[in-house]
Structure 1
Amino acid sequence: MKGTYLGEFQEVVLLSILILQDESYGVRIQEEIQNELNRTISRGALHTALTRLEEKGFIKSEMGGATEERGGRRKRIFTVTNLGKESLKEARAVREQLWTKVPDWAVNVSYAVW
């Protein structure tokens, strides 16, 4: 396993896979991220993240059945492993712990009007 560090983009990809469940293949993951976060990502960036997540053991993939709509091609379906779920829980806990220590004044935004 390559390590357990989970970057922000990898966290977003893992969460998208959990949301999409049986529909978690490359194009749908890309669409989910774009629709939910209004964030455009390239297929290359997504595939790099998916490869790294699989190398770390956070996700696994298998080939789905061929469909007529895809010209007989199969989709690679991704699922989050228990290790991936634990990593997500840990990342969330760390963020929540840090946010509890941030004073309110530090995140209140005020704009000066000239």
Structure 2
Amino acid sequence: VNAQGLQHLIDHGGHALLLGVDIYRLSAMHYVEDALPEAIRDRFRPSEKARAVYTEEEWLIESWVPENKSCYEIQRESYRQGLIRDTGIGESPCMLLPVKPVIELYRTALLERPFELYGL
């Protein structure tokens, strides 16, 4: 995955405004997954057949649905720390959050308790 796209936002105190979705759709979470242990990374790895059709240089596909959605644990912790602000635009619920502190929570969890985070 080419992680350069959001790096400027992360490095300069940028915020994300999630419109009608939650943290599970925050692409910046992937920027700290270098801390994901190989044993967990292997569970997500698609089959050879799938990778032949969807090359890893062009696609990010996953083949495992973990018992625990790690992003939701990070979302709960972000709320506990007051990092997420809920609002709305029309009928759409919205979440405003500072990107770097939130993804750093994810990095810390990946380094300290990755298997628990994914329900293993």
TM-score (norm 1): 0.32
Higher strand share: 2
Higher helix share: 1
Q: Which has the higher contact order (CA 8 A, sep 6+)?
A: 2
TM-score (norm 2): 0.31
